[in-house]
Amino acid sequence: MAVKADAKVVVVGCGISGVAAAHRLVSAGFHHVRILEASARSGGRVKTGRLGDNIVEIGANWIHGPSEENPVFRLARKYRLLDPEALSPENQAMDVGGHPPYVPNIFCSSGRKLNAEDLHCTQELFAELLDESSNFASQGGEPWSCVGDFIRSQIQQRAAEKWKDINATTRSLRLCMISNMLKLECSINGAHSMDEVGLGAYGLYKTLPGLDCTFPGGYEGVVKNLMAELPSGLVAYNQPVRCVRWNNTETRENPVMVECDEESIAADHVIVTVPLGYLKKHHSALFHPPLPLHKLHSVQRLGFGTNNKIFVEFDSPWWDADCEVIYLVWEDEDDMVDQVPDIPRSWIKKLCAFTVLKPTERYGHVMCGWIAGHESEFMETLSEQEVTLTVTQLIRRFTGNPTITPKRVLRSQWFHDPWTCGSYSYPGIGCSAQDLENLMEPLPTKGSQSQPLQVLFAGEATHPHYYSTVHGALLSGWREADRLVSHYSSVSPSERLKSNL
Ligand SMILES: Cc1cc2nc3c(=O)[nH]c(=O)nc-3n(C[C@H](O)[C@H](O)[C@H](O)COP(=O)(O)OP(=O)(O)OC[C@H]3O[C@@H](n4cnc5c(N)ncnc54)[C@H](O)[C@@H]3O)c2cc1C
Ligand SMILES: *[C@@H]1O[C@H](CO)[C@@H](O)[C@H](O)[C@H]1NC(C)=O
Ligand SMILES: *[C@@H]1O[C@H](CO)[C@@H](O)[C@H](O)[C@H]1NC(C)=O
């Protein structure tokens, strides 16, 4: 085995996990580190764009749980990328369990605006059930296979008791609100439906304290600052890796060949950070020999869905000055279903909420619509004009105001991004902690006689608790770099001598 400084390490993918891995390896004294990135840019799903003069996030939006334990928060603070409020001890101490208490405006499909109080008990019950959904992982023996079935069954049971003095109209409206909340959970989880999110593993996801904050200058600032500390020329752009040929026993020195379109690169170690969506689609071409079956099964069992944003800008607001989120409740949806039956005709019904970009002095009147699932994937195929028209009709209907007209519209298209194939990962039906273990397990697997740590796996989907987040991705990159660092420091000098002879 080569000594650390000589070891050749190739990182596949220049998202936050790849950058974090390379950064840590270079800092630890590895001299031959390269990143191969398929696209023309770094950052991956951290992607800052523009809407007119405004900075908007096409990908990651918030630091989820900005507090001391969150490494993205610590980096953002170090690089001075945050507003003072986000740094305050009060903000860091706020524990919202992943659901910040945004001030809502609620509009119905008949054009009625509801009072926030009308939402309150439904929201409370829903939050209670999400909480209970999280408890199954530790207990085992979950009563339903998916979160959707669990929530529906519990609402039916508990509403009979809790809402027994409520008249049929109000009861029906509350069930419509549940449909809305299920759709919002689809966006949060990056799933087509909560019927595809496994109940047993739902609680694996952990939150951190701190009220979610954004980057006034754009999320990409974190990536740019990390990259600035790397040697220049370390990243090769427009270099999609087509195949990782590992377990090569012909030459003793470089067990892995990384094949790109025009070039093949020999390496001792490859850290693969491609998104799970890409892995699901391309694993058979990407690995030779193929992934071991237990790993492949986990790639298939873990979920990777689509969540997109539709930014809409207005000359003047049609929501209250203090409003932070707008919910759209369809009054014909008391079936508690989060999937739209006729997608080409009715995909817009999946767009369940808009968050309002704050502060207004910075952004003007911009809101961000959230749409998940196959409906979102269909939306990606439409022209920007078609999306604009449909969103305009939606807003006019829910406000009852036929004159409201957006100034600008911009949407993300993560499903059709060839290097992402969706948005982020979630535990699918039947998943357990073992699937995440399998996903991060290096190749060759334990007990093999061939050279250890040839292929390592990082990226959002490989974090046991913080999957689907930027901090999870970052930590996974550091984890795999540390695996190599400790591997080289645990090799005794005599062994090193032997292997060099
Ligand atoms: C709409 C949306 C909103 C989100 N909001 C938040 C949020 O508010 N907060 C939060 O914490 N997280 C959020 N996330 C999730 C977060 O963005 C991701 O978890 C994180 O950025 C993933 O980083 P990564 O390094 O694992 O993957 P990526 O950033 O996807 O990086 C992987 C890289 O690999 C490259 N690649 C793919 N295939 C190849 C190949 N064959 N060869 C070479 N390179 C390849 C890709 O081009 C990409 O650059 C959001 C994501 C989306 C899509
Ligand atoms: C049902 O109850 C709500 C308030 O609880 C009330 O406003 C409404 O008029 C009632 N509707 C009917 C049909 O009784
Ligand atoms: C890797 O190579 C070794 C030695 O040639 C062989 O025994 C083993 O089966 C190979 N592993 C895979 C997954 O091909």
Model confidence pLDDT, tens digit, residues 64-100: 999 999 999 999 999 999 999 999 999 999 988 778 8
> In this structure, is residue 361 part of a structural domain?
no
Q: How confident is the model at residue 501 (pLDDT cuts 50, 70, 90)?
A: very low
Give residue 167 CA to ligand 2 midpoint distance, Å: 6
Tally of structural domains, the chain: 1
Protein residue with least CA distance to atom 6, ligand 2: 170
17 lines ligand 1 (CB under 6 A): yes
Looking at residue 96, the DSSP 8-state letter turns out to be -
User: Is residue 98 included in any domain, yes or no?
Assistant: no
Domain for residue 180, yes or no? Answer: no
> What separation in Å is there between the alpha carbon of 111 and the centre of ligand 2?
18
Give strand pairing partners of 8: 32
Which CATH number does the domain housing residue 17 bear?
3.50.50.60
Mean pLDDT computed over 20-37: 98
Q: Which of 272, 470, 476 to mutate to test the pocket of ligand 1 (most atoms within 8 A of CB)?
A: 470
Task: Please state, in angstroms and rounded to a whole number, the distance separating the CA atoms of residues 64 and 475.
Answer: 14
Nearest by Cα to 68 from 60, 59, 78? 78
Whole-number Å distance, alpha carbon 496 to ligand 3 midpoint, is 23
Q: Does residue 485 belong to any structural domain of this protein?
A: yes
> What is the CA(449)–ligand 3 centre distance, in A?
8
Q: pLDDT at position 495, please?
A: 54
Dist CA 304 CA 184 (whole Å): 16
The answer as to whether 54 is a domain residue is: no
C-alpha 331 – ligand 2 centre gap (Å):
15
User: Phi and psi of 214, rounded to 5°?
Assistant: -115, 175
Query: Which of 23, 45, 214 has most ligand 1 atoms within 8 Å of CB, for mutation?
Result: 45
Query: Does pLDDT of 23 surpass 50?
Result: yes
Q: Which domain holds residue 263?
A: 1-46+214-303+420-490
Atom of ligand 1 nearest to the CA of 58: 1
Question: Ligand 3 pocket, 249 CB below 6 A?
Answer: yes
Q: Mean pLDDT throughout 434-440?
A: 98
270 band by pLDDT with thresholds 50, 70 and 90: very high
| 3 has a pLDDT exceeding 80 | no
Residue 230 lies in a domain: yes
Taking residue 110's Cβ as centre, other Cβ atoms within 10 Å add up to 12
Looking at the domain assignment, is residue 283 inside a domain? yes
pTM: 0.96
Residue 2 in any domain: the answer is: yes
* pLDDT for the residue numbered 280: 98
Mean pLDDT of the chain: 95
Closest-CA residue, ligand 2 atom 1, reads 167
Given a cut of 60, whether residue 20 has pLDDT beyond it is yes
Q: What is the rounded CA–CA span in Å between residue 337 and residue 496?
A: 61
Residue 342 has pLDDT above 50, yes or no: yes
